[in-house]
Structure formats: structure tokens, C-alpha cells
Amino acid sequence: MRTLHKLAWTLGVALWSAGVAANQPLPGGIISDLNALEAQLGDGELDAVASRAGAQASRLAGGNAADRWASALYRQLEANALAQQEAFIPAAESLRQARQISGVDSATAQRWLREEVSLRRAGGEMDTAIELLSQWLEGRDNERDLWRLTGWLAHEQRWEEAAEWLGRATAVTSSLDDRQRSLALAIYRNADLTDEALAWLLDGLRSDSDANMWRQAAGLAQQVGRPDVAAGLWETAWQLGIFDAMDDFWTLVQLHLAGGTPARAAEHLERALAEGRLVREPMTLRKLAEAWQQAKDIDHTLAAWEALAMLTQAADDWRALGQLAYAWGRESVAESAWEKASELGDVQADQWLAGLTSEE
């Protein structure tokens, strides 16, 4: 809170000093009184300043143009004194009254409006702070405040509005930092703008982007029904060495299978087996056989199923090899496979063999 106090006080002095020259000329007595109150404010006599400034503001509010301008300046001093006592909402009300006084120039009123925004937020009136900051930003492209408003809207879970202001914020920002990127992604996702989120993530991906960005991009691609894009992203991250854990490897295989590139999944499995990263166990060989089968690569599929059947010596695996071989016109391979299945007691294999013999 101390930072806010100091900020409010610093802005207050600047506004009062600039405002005297910019608006109606004031009588010498009023100027002396304002200067005295400003000095008291600097000395920490907050109650006295708030009381005196409030009384003077009320007394002068109905007077001529110079009186009304003086009333506005007294309200501004009252606001500073109240803010430093953490009476944020009363301080904001004082600024609201000050900026709405007839005769206050637009530039000064807008500066007071911007300061009122911070006081409303500090006092917990977030909806009002958002409304006022939105007003202040009309016709302005202030990068800092555009991001501030976007963040506030996101915090209040007003996602669609946040997305609109995000568009303005990103338009005036040359390079987003990590905090801004995380905020943008959260807004896009919660506003159900997954296509926009994916496009934004893809545009921002670089070889030095962290692993989380690559994961989020792949996840969003799956959400919008683009498993091919998800597979491509994961493949790129794998090749760059961003992903290297075994969990990442299996995700890579699954994404290629789902994304329409099963041959690539099979190639990764074969390479991992050759390099010793994977053990030649039934589960791995079965996944390899299924990948080649999905890719409709006859030679690789039959070789993989044969390797699996030789490892497991299971009748079901030999029979499956025979059925695939038969479907693809490799009758000699089918016959050999069914014979092995039959030797292992598979009745169905006997039936397939009988049918093959009758065809001959």
C-alpha cells in the first residue's frame, strides 16, 4: 500500500502545480491557502488537510469560474490526504467530484480520472475501476494501461471483454514478455477462441521457446481437431531436443498414429529399438506392428507381426499374421503362420488352413 500512497502524493503535487497555470486565475488568498495545505500534506497532517480542503471545496463549489476551479483543486488535495490514510473510496469520490466540476479543462479531468481508477481498484471497486479505465482509454493506445485493463478483466473472468482489449494491447506491443504471453493464452482459451490461441502460439514458437509453449500448442491443436498439426509440433520439438523423456517419446508415437502419419510412428519405434532405448518386449513390438499395419506397408507389417509372434509364441499372434498375409495375397506366409498357430493348438488356424487347402 505504501507504494500507492507515494504515487498518489507525487501525482497530486504535479497536477496542482500544472493546473494553476492551465485554468482560471485564482485570488492570492486562495493560492496561499492551497500552498499552505500542500505543505501540511507534505508534513503528514492528513486529517487537517482533508478537513480544511473538503470544507473549502464545498464552500466554493457554487461560485464563479475561479471559485469552481479552486473547489476542484481543494477536492484534489482532499483526495490525496484521504488516499494516504488508505481511505481509498472516499479519496476516489473526491477526485470524481473534482473532475466533474464545471470549468475543469479536459486534460486535467482525464488525469484525475486516471488517478481515480487506481484508487477505485485499491478500494476493491474493481468493476468501477474497469469502467473508468475503459473510458480513459477511449481514443488512446497507452500500452501499459491496455495491458492493465486486459489483466483486470481476465482476473474478473470477463473473458470476451478481455479478448477484445487484448487485441488492442497486442496491436501496440512490439514484443510480448512471458507474463503477457501467459495472460493472452489464458484469455484465448477461456474465451473459447482456440483457433486464435493456436494461431497465436504457432506464430510465437521459436527453437528457443520453452517446452511448456510447445506442449500447449500441441494440446490446442488437438482441441481444435488438428491432430496432424499436433503431431508436427511434437515432432519438431523432439527433433530440436526440447522433448527427450520417454513419456514424450510415447506421446510422439501416439500423436503420429492419431495424426495420420503412422509410418513416422513406426520409424521412431524401430530407431528406439535399434538404439536400445526400448526393450524388445511384446507391448513394444505389438505397437510397432500396429503402426506399420495402419500405414498399410505390407512388407514392414508382416515382418513386424512375425517378430512379435516369434517373441510371444502365442497362437493368436501367429493366426493374426496369417490373416493379414492372406488378405494381402501372401498365401505362403499365411500358410506358414497358420501351421505354427495350429501346432500351438489353435482351432481357428486349422479352419483357415482347411479353407486354404480347398482353394488349391
Per residue in 247-274, pLDDT (tens digit) is: 999 999 999 999 999 999 999 999 999 9
Helix or strand holding residue 21 (H, E): helix 2-22
Strands (E), the chain: none
> What pLDDT, on the 0 to 100 scale, is given for residue 360?
56
For all residues of the chain together, what is the average pLDDT?
90
Q: Which amino acid is at 28?
A: G
Looking at per-residue pLDDT, the higher value among 235 and 6 belongs to 235
pLDDT of residue 15: 41
pLDDT reported for residue 358: 65
Average pLDDT over residues 191-203: 85
Tens digits of residue pLDDT in 63-84: 999 999 999 999 999 999 999 9
pLDDT-wise least confident of 9-13, 103-107, 158-162, 283-287: 9-13
pLDDT for the residue 335:
93
Residue 216 burial by CB count (10 A; 0-12/13-18/19+): exposed, middle or buried?
Answer: buried
How confident is the model at residue 359, as a pLDDT?
A: 62
Q: Which of 46, 48, 52, 132 is nearest to 96 (CA)?
A: 132
pLDDT tens digits, one per residue of 111-166: 999 999 999 999 999 999 999 999 999 989 999 999 999 999 999 999 999 999 99
Q: Rounded distance, CA 205 to CA 28, Å?
A: 63
User: DSSP state, 244?
Assistant: -
